[in-house]
Structure formats: structure tokens, C-alpha cells
Amino acid sequence: MRDPESLATAEPIYARLAEELSELIGNGQLRPGERLPSVRRLSSQKRVSATTAIAALRSLESRGLAEARPQSGYFVRAAALRVEEPAMTRPSAAAKAVGIDNVMVRLLDASLDPGIAPLGTALPDPAWFPAQRMRRAVAAALRRNPELLSACNHHYAGREALRHHNPPRYADLGCAVAPDEAVVTNGCTEALNLALRAVTVPGDAVAVESPCYYSFLQIVQKQGLKALEVATHPRDGLSVDALEAALGSRAGRSVKVCLINPNFSNPMGGAMPEAEKRRLVQLCERRGVVLIEDDVYADLQHAGPRPLPAKAYDRRGNVILCSSFTKTLAPGARIGWVFGGRYAEEIRLRKFAASGATSAVLQEALAEILRSGGYERHLLKLRRAYAEQVARMSAAVREYFPAGTRITQPAGGFVVWVELPGKADSLALYEKAIGEGVNFAPGPLFSASGRYRNFLRLNCGRMWTPVIERALLRLGQLAECRQ
């Protein structure tokens, strides 16, 4: 029999169980994003009570090793990074003409090759999406109205079923949008094109985050505009202080628009704090600068409530919001929307002139899914999947890439921004990696001035497979060789 003193100092059963699970996490047998054994399974395997199993899992949670997800159980949380995140950026103070076509075309062409690991374009895995549900919705829409295919669609601003669905969704967030502001588009890219054309003329400058999504830069380039890059923080997004300084400078006099991605930006994944979004909206109003926001990643927070769009703080119709279902529900449908604020009528006319009406069948099918509540249920699963993918990708970068590598820590979306150490050249690395079947997005793609040579963006949206892991291992080896 054990003496009273040993009993008093003995480690509780739940603590020993928690330590055992902690060791499995530490040695990599349980990886970031993986589900931990359920309470029932732990109770059965370890012959402990459910209360003890719960206490062990909660102990891991309190130590930052696990996270609880409603109705799903406990999952391994990404370990504290052994590498730092990139610093606040310091872009050029001058507005620049853009020229990124050659690199972008190579990136997109490589994404079409099934023999190349898809770490480049920010495209999610088709397996994440409810394809059968979408097929049934399309079939149901055609049964109800066979003329959706045979008759001309004159609803160039969007079918009522879909066009009037999104404003209430945003209203639930506290973002009031008038139904007549909404125009349905062919994806978010068309929405951004229409918005910029409605408020600029060739020669104007557009303030953008730095680094900035390369599609923004291409749109700016094709419309004969210039890009003024603004300092951006990897977690907190665009610096409003830096934007204010830029607008007050000589280069800022020609800025007519601020084009940003405030919620889980591409490529860094940063999210502007709510107070900074409010400041941004107020600054743009004072300066007479139109604010165009890309809200496409905002529904993809990894935990907690969905962040508000900047438009939630708009009181004068100066904010134009663009988004789509491309990252969240139906990538192939290319259905997006724009809330045009006081520029809604101009955008509506430009939509008619640019491409006419967007597919009526797909609009009706998506509207049916939204009405059924299927979208919100789908988003819950998708957010968890993206969170796990980002955690796994980050862990692999930390393990396989050279010492001194830095990586962002996004709280939403599915891309990460990686800073290679020393004088690494991501364009030279790209040439070598493509030859060995690995695609990624080189840093200079995300800058009008060709900055970020030692940076790259990785797509975490593809389902984790041995092919993906081997590609990251090889990319890390190639990056090490080029130091």
C-alpha cells in the first residue's frame, strides 16, 4: 500500500494521459490539424472514465496544444512557430506602372499540368465542394424553368433570387446594403474590373497593399492605371497610417482609389482590426478616395466570428464591395457580386456593356442552395478543412525549409507568405522547382516594382497528400541549395 505522502503527490490520471498525448504531438505522431481521439475512444483504450478523458483533453487545450471545435471534438493545434513571421513591408513611395504578365502566365499554365504539384495558384481542392448538391440544384432549376437555357437572360444586373439574397446576409453581420446596390458578376475579377472602371480613368493611381494579390495588379495594368504600394503588416493588414502618409505625398495626389483585401488578404493572410477598418473608411471619405474591397476570403475565418467588411463602416456610399462564391461554394460557376454604393448605377451600366447577364441557370442553382441553409453548413466544414491545411503547410515549411525562414500566421483563408533567408531569389528557385514538378507563386508577382525576390506564396487549399508533402520537402531542399 502506498503511503499518504506518495498518494498526495501522485500525478493525477488525467495529467498522465495528457502528457502521453502531448508526447505523441511532440514527436509528430499526431500532427497539427489532426483530430485527437474522442472522449469515448480514450475512455475505452485507456480504461479511464469519461470525466478523466475530458480533463486530459482540456489540459491539452489549456497548454495551447489542442483546440475544441463545436460538434467535432478536439484537434491538434499548430505548435508555436519556431520561426518568425515577416516584418512590416516598406514599399517604394512612387506610383509604378505594372508589368507582371510573363510570370503570371507561366504560373497559370503550370497549374494546368496534372504532373506538377499545385502549390502555386490560390485554388481550392474540388473535393472540398458539394458537387452533387450543386448538380441537383441545377437540375431542379431547369425542371422548374426549362427556359433558363433556351431564353435570353435580360437580367443583366442579376436574377432576383440571387441578387436579393446577399444583402440580407450582410445585414445579419451589421452591414446594411440596399438591394439595388447589388450586381451579380462573372466572379470577383469581373466585379473588381467593373468597380475600377466606374471610378477611374487611365493614368490615375490606385493605392494597394504591399504585397498585393497579383490579379489586382494585372487589372490595374490592363486599365492603364498605376499602383502605389502601401506598407502592410502580415497579421494586421494595410497600415492606415502609411496610407495617410502616402496620400499626403506628391505621389499620392493622383490616387483615386484604394483597392484592398482587408479580411485574410492574399498573399499574407492578414486581417485588419475593426478599429482600423473604420479609420480606413473615414480616411478615404476625407481624402475623396474611393475604397474598393475584395471580401472573397472573409467567410473563411479559421475560428470565431466572421470579420466585418470595411463596408460595414460606410455611411456615404464611398465603399464598393466585391466578392464571389469561387473560394467558398462553387469555383467553376464563377458567380460573384458587387455592392456599388453610390456608384451602383454606373457599375450596372458597365456590366451590361461589358458582358451582359451572368448565367441564369447557375444563379438560380446557387440561390436554391442558399435558401436551403446548405451554404452555412458547408462553410463550417470548409473552415475546419482550410484551418487544418494551413496548419499542416506551416508545420511542413518549418520542418523542411532552411533555417531562418519566416512564415505568416493567417487566421483565415488558405494561403501563406514565406520569406526565405539571405539572398534567396524566388524567381531563380521557380525555374528549378518547375523543372522538378513543383509550382508556387514567386514573390515579385505581388509587387508592381518587382519587390519580394526572396519571398513566395504557397497555396494550402489542396487536400493534404504524400505528393504535396514530397513537393514541400523538395522545395525546401532546393531553397537550401540556393543559399
Check pLDDT > 80 for residue 8: no
pLDDT over 70 percentage in the chain: 94
* Cis before 267 (ω within 30): yes
CA distance 240 to 231: 9
225 with 361, same domain? yes
Say whether both 214 and 154 belong to one domain.
yes
> Taking a C-beta distance cutoff of 8 angstroms, is the pair 227, 212 a contact?
yes
Number of domains in the chain: 3
pLDDT digits (tens, 9 = 90+) for 319-359: 999 999 999 999 999 999 999 999 999 999 999 998 888 99
At residue 83, the pLDDT reads 56
| Domain co-membership, 319 together with 367 | yes
Task: Output the nine-digit C-alpha cell for 241.
Answer: 497610417
- Verify that 296 and 308 share a domain, yes or no: yes
Give the pLDDT confidence of 68-114 residue by residue, as tens digits. 877 778 888 765 444 578 877 878 777 767 666 777 788 888 888 88
- Higher pLDDT pick, 426 / 105: 426
What is the arithmetic mean of pLDDT over 372-395?
Answer: 89
Tens-place pLDDT, residues 268-303: 999 999 999 999 999 999 999 999 999 999 999 988
Q: How far apart are CA 288 and CA 346, in angstroms?
A: 18
CA distances from 25 to 35, 80, 268, 419 (A): 11, 12, 27, 26
Residue 68 is assigned to a structural domain of this protein: yes
Write down the H helix ranges in 127-273.
Answer: 131-144, 147-150, 160-163, 166-172, 187-199, 214-222, 240-247
Looking up residue 289, the CATH number of its domain turns out to be 3.40.640.10
Same domain, residue pair 455 and 469: yes
Decide if 251 is inside a domain.
Answer: yes
What pLDDT, on a 0 to 100 scale, did the predictor assign at position 65? 79
**Is residue 406 one of the residues assigned to a domain?**
yes
Residue 43 and residue 146 share a domain: no
Q: What is the pLDDT, as a whole number, of residue 47?
A: 87
List pLDDT tens digits, range 141-179.
999 998 888 888 778 888 988 888 888 889 888 888 888
Per-residue model confidence as pLDDT tens digits over 37-62: 888 888 888 888 888 888 788 777 75
Does pLDDT of 11 surpass 60? no
Pair 231, 173 in one domain: yes
Check whether 10 has a pLDDT greater than 70.
Answer: no
Give domain status of residue 5, yes or no: no
Q: Which of 374, 389, 404 is the last residue of a domain?
A: 374
Distance (Å, rounded) from C-alpha 204 to C-alpha 251? 11
CATH number at residue 21: 1.10.10.10
Q: Which domain holds residue 219?
A: 130-374
Q: What is the mean pLDDT of residues 201-207?
A: 96
Q: What is the pLDDT of residue 51?
A: 81
Q: Is residue 482 over pLDDT 70?
A: no
Give 124's strand partners: none
Average pLDDT across the chain, whole number: 88
- Between 196 and 15, whose confidence is greater? 196
9 has pLDDT over 90: no
Rank 13-22, 76-85, 186-195, 422-431 by mean pLDDT and report only the highest.
186-195
The predicted structure's pLDDT at residue 92 = 74
Q: In sequence order, what are the residues at sequence separation of 6 or more whose Cβ sits closer than 8 angstroms to the Cβ of residue 94?
A: 228, 251
Does 345 fall in a domain? yes
Looking at the structure, tell me whether residues 39 and 172 fall in a common domain. Answer: no
Q: Do 254 and 321 share a structural domain?
A: yes
**Residue 91 located in a structural domain:** no
Mean pLDDT across the stretch 262-269?
96
**Does residue 43 lie within any of the structural domains?**
yes
Are 117 and 439 contacting, i.e. CB atoms less than 8 angstroms apart?
A: yes
Rounded to an integer, the average pLDDT of 420-448 is 93
pLDDT per position as a tens digit, 347-358: 999 999 988 889
For residue 1, the one-letter residue type is M
Query: Which of 331, 352, 374 is a domain's end point?
Result: 374
The pLDDT assigned to 460 comes to 96
* In a domain? residue 84: no
d(CA 294, CA 177): 16
Residue 195 sits in the same domain as residue 277: yes
How deeply is 33 buried, as exposed, middle or buried, from its count of CB atoms within 10 A (0-12, 13-18, 19+)? buried
Please report, for the domain that includes residue 449, its CATH number: 3.90.1150.10
Comparing 262 with 482, the larger pLDDT belongs to 262
Pairing of strands 336-339, 182-185: antiparallel
Residues 137 and 156 in one domain: yes
- List pLDDT tens digits, range 110-142: 888 888 999 999 999 999 999 999 999 999 999
Whole-number Cα distances in Å, 225 to 145, 347, 418: 43, 18, 28
Q: What pLDDT score does 96 carry?
A: 66
Question: Is the per-residue pLDDT at 3 higher than 60?
Answer: no
Is the pLDDT confidence value at 372 over 60?
A: yes
Enumerate residues 6+ apart whose C-beta is below 8 A from 113.
none
DSSP strands (E only) in 63-174: 66-69, 73-76, 117-118
207-223: average pLDDT: 95
190 and 329 in a single domain? The answer is yes
